[in-house]
Structures are given as C-alpha cells and as structure tokens.
Amino acid sequence: MDANTGRNAVMTQHATRNTPPYRGRIAPSPTGYLHVGHARTFWTAQQRTRAQNGKLSLRNEDLDRDRCKPEFVQAMYDDLRWFGFEWSEGPDCSGPFAPYSQSERMEHYRATLNKLFELGVVYPCTCSRKTSKPPLLHRTLPMMKRSIPAPAVRRVTRGE
C-alpha cells in the first residue's frame, strides 16, 4: 500500500464516522498588508482543509477600529487570491456562519457575554496587562472553588 492509498483509507474512515465536516479557517486582520508569513500559515490551513475534503472559510478580523482600513481589506482579498487561496465561506461570499467580518458579530458577542453573566461565570478583572499574570494562573472561575483576589473585589465595590 502506498502513502496515498493509506491516507485515502484513513480519510474515508474519518468521513464515515458521525463527525462534523472539517472546517479550516484563515483569519487575517486588515491592519496592514499581508506578508509571506501569512501566506505560509494560510497555505497550511488550505492544505489541511483540502486533505480532509473540508471547507475553508475566510474570517476578517477587523476589530481593531483604529488600525483596520478599507484599503487593507481590499488588499487582503487581492493578495489572498494572488497567492492562489480559495475559500468557500467569507465576507465576500457569505456562508452558513455569516457574518464573517468580526465587527458585524458584536450583537452575537454581547448576547453570549450576557448569558455568561447570567450563569455567574464572569467577573471583572481590573489588572493591567503589565501587572497581570498568565490568565490561567491569575484569573479563575467560581466553579474552580477559588476566590477573586481581595484587591479586585475592593476595586469593584468602590466602582473603579
């Protein structure tokens, strides 16, 4: 059995299980022009998606309002197509998980955050990036039976 036959057998076996289809994603941020590092990362995502007979989606990470520019969005499309990337879902072609520009998903994010607040699994963190420790070591959820650091509780109580 050659390598391709073995790989095809594994892919067929994978496809017969009740698993969702593979979805690859490329998610550039239009805060500047793409570079060769993007091309390498996106090529890997595209190859993995093709190997799994999946769908590749393009997500526009346009949440940095100060740095994202319309000309960078257009350049992103032009450059990705020039590199030979093909996606089946994205801001320019829609798909079942639209919208694909993150700035258009803010209502979804707000609704999800509200649900998390209702469940009581969100608490404010008033630490700066400079003083905070890695997230998993510093911030903990109530279900982990650890308390919120006392200084943070005092700051929240004072409305800071």
Whole-angstrom distance, CA of residue 58 vs CA of residue 74: 13
Kind and range of the H or E run holding 93: none
Q: Is 64 helix (H, G, I), strand (E, B) or coil?
A: coil
Q: Where along the chain do its domains lie?
A: 3-120, 123-160
> From first to last of its 160 residues, what are the pLDDT tens digits of the chain?
444 444 444 444 455 567 889 999 999 999 999 988 888 999 999 999 999 999 999 999 999 989 999 999 999 999 999 989 999 999 999 899 999 999 999 999 899 988 988 898 887 777 776 766 555 444 444 444 344 555 655 655 565 5
Classify domain 3-120 at the CATH topology level: Rossmann fold (3.40.50)
Q: What is the pLDDT of residues 75-94, one digit of tens each?
A: 999 999 998 999 999 999 98
The dihedrals phi and psi of 110, each to the nearest 5 degrees, come to -65, -45
What average pLDDT does the chain have?
A: 79
Whole-angstrom distance, CA of residue 46 vs CA of residue 94: 18
